[in-house]
Amino acid sequence: MLSYQVIESGKPLEAREGETPVPEGAEVLMQVEACGVCHSDLHLWDGEYLLADGEKLTLADRGIEPPFTMGHEVVGVVAAVGPDVPGPEDGGVQVGDKRVVYPWIGCGTCDVCQRDEELLCLDQRTIGIRWPGGYADHVIVPDAKYLIDYSGLPTELACTYACSGLTAYSALLKTGAKTALDDVVLIGAGGVGLSAVVFGKSMIEGKIIVADVDGTKRSLARQSGADETVDNSEADAVEKIRKMTGGGAAAAIDFVGSAETARLGLDVLRRGGTLVSVGLYGDAMPLPMVMMPLMMYSIRGSYVGTLQEMREVIDLARTGKVPPIPVATRPLAEATAVLNELQRGEILGRVVLKP
């Protein structure tokens, strides 16, 4: 099999030929049809995350060392199944089935994994992070239960639901927005932010307001259904949003995760509002502690989503109520070029690689 691997942090990915794995036990071998390139891949590639005061969290701190194969938005065709994989009549799969992969996989045996909270598992096997990913022509999936039927949806779009769609959906659920008076501010209109716009339109009754510093991304957000957009590089951005929301938003989701965007997210909330923090840009924000009780704010982190949420995402997408985000296709061999373009902020929507 062919894979494009991180051999050295930040250096161009290198093509490696290896034996195509034979699935054992409950494993399934997928022939990759497409794999999305995610912003979080940039951190895996760079090898570090920015904490506070210039301090960094490295991949080694997370127990990840090159060489490895990135790619966690994988869609493909079942190429072979292990001896313990049940057939389609028993909830399993057979060769030729087209499936999108849920990549956020834990050990499968501990308490949290047993109750389908695999994101909380301390022994992660995330595909494309700790387990070989989809920047390759084949991927091994540990169990057929992580494969979801996406029939009725375009293949290249389906893979984006495994991270950008799922992350957006789960973050929107965490806003707690319930009524038409609960407006939600989305900060950052990259792949995940745009996904939140399209999913938000069928999940949130209140206004969806998008803040981005890039005019092209703002107009894309508006075309995707955002009710209002704001340029958050302007000094009066908070004031504008407070006016649009009649005094403050029920929630803000920060898809960037910088000190400035988190500050903006907090400043636009009304009493009792929730800031959902998703982006991994990094750095730290001073938090005026008195405002936490006085304003009854909640700040919560959200990392991708559960297997059950991924099934809900695919079900929701299949109703046809969620318009597609823009998806461009590029050959797998251009993976490094795509990562560079993503780093420079030149990618609109999602790019998916095809082997």
Straight-line distance from the first to the last Cα atom of the chain, in angstroms, rounded to the nearest whole number: 11
Q: How many residues bind Zn ion (CB under 5 A)?
A: 8
Our CB check for Zn ion shows the closer of 31 and 164 to be 164
Least CB distance to Zn ion at residue 87 (A): 26
Our CB check for Zn ion shows the closer of 35 and 184 to be 35
Our CB check for Zn ion shows the closer of 121 and 269 to be 121
- For residues 323 and 223, the answer to whether their CB atoms sit within 8 Å is no
Angle between helix 191-203 and 307-318 (nearest 10): 70
Give yes or no for residue 40 binding Zn ion (CB under 5 A).
Answer: yes
Task: Number of helices (H) and strands (E) in the chain: give both, helices first.
Answer: 11, 17
Which range touches Zn ion (CB under 5 A), out of 40-48, 50-58, 132-140, 143-151?
40-48
Q: Could you tell me whether strands 98-101 and 73-81 are parallel, antiparallel, or unpaired per DSSP bridges?
A: antiparallel
Q: Which of residues 121-160 bind Zn ion (CB under 5 A)?
A: 121
Our CB check for Zn ion shows the closer of 70 and 251 to be 70
Q: Which residue type sits at 125?
A: R
- Paired residues of 318 in beta bridges: none
Least CB distance to Zn ion at residue 279 (A): 11
b/e map 259-296, b = 16+ CB within 10 Å? bbbbbbbbbbbbeebbbbbbbbbbeeeeeeeeeeeebe
Give yes or no for residue 120 binding Zn ion (CB under 5 A).
Answer: no
Least CB distance to Zn ion at residue 113 (A): 3
Q: Which of residues 80-109 bind Zn ion (CB under 5 A)?
A: 106-107
Least CB distance to Zn ion at residue 219 (A): 24
Rounded Cα distance, 342 and 138, in Å: 24
Least CB distance to Zn ion at residue 165 (A): 10
Tell me the two tokens of residue 254.
């920060």
Which range touches Zn ion (CB under 5 A), out of 7-15, 33-41, 82-90, 96-104?
33-41
Give yes or no for residue 110 binding Zn ion (CB under 5 A).
Answer: yes
Our CB check for Zn ion shows the closer of 109 and 319 to be 109
**How buried is 219 (Cβ within 10 angstroms: 0-12 exposed, 13-18 middle, 19+ buried)?**
middle
Our CB check for Zn ion shows the closer of 106 and 132 to be 106
How are the residues of the chain apportioned to helix, strand and coil, as percentages rounded to the nearest 5?
A: 30, 25, 45
Answer for which of 59, 85, 101, 113 binds Zn ion (CB under 5 A) is 113
Half-sphere exposure of 141 (CA within 13 A, CB side): 32
Least CB distance to Zn ion at residue 347 (A): 13
Rounded Cα distance, 51 and 209, in Å: 28
**Residues contacting 29, CB < 8 A, separation 6+:** 20, 21, 22, 23, 78, 79, 80, 81, 138, 139, 140, 141
Rounded Cα distance, 163 and 119, in Å: 13
- Mask for 60-79, x = binds Zn ion (CB under 5 A): --------------------
Which range touches Zn ion (CB under 5 A), out of 117-125, 257-265, 306-314, 347-355?
117-125
Give yes or no for residue 163 binding Zn ion (CB under 5 A).
Answer: yes
Least CB distance to Zn ion at residue 22 (A): 25
Least CB distance to Zn ion at residue 112 (A): 6
Residues that bind Zn ion (CB under 5 A): 38, 40, 106-107, 110, 113, 121, 163
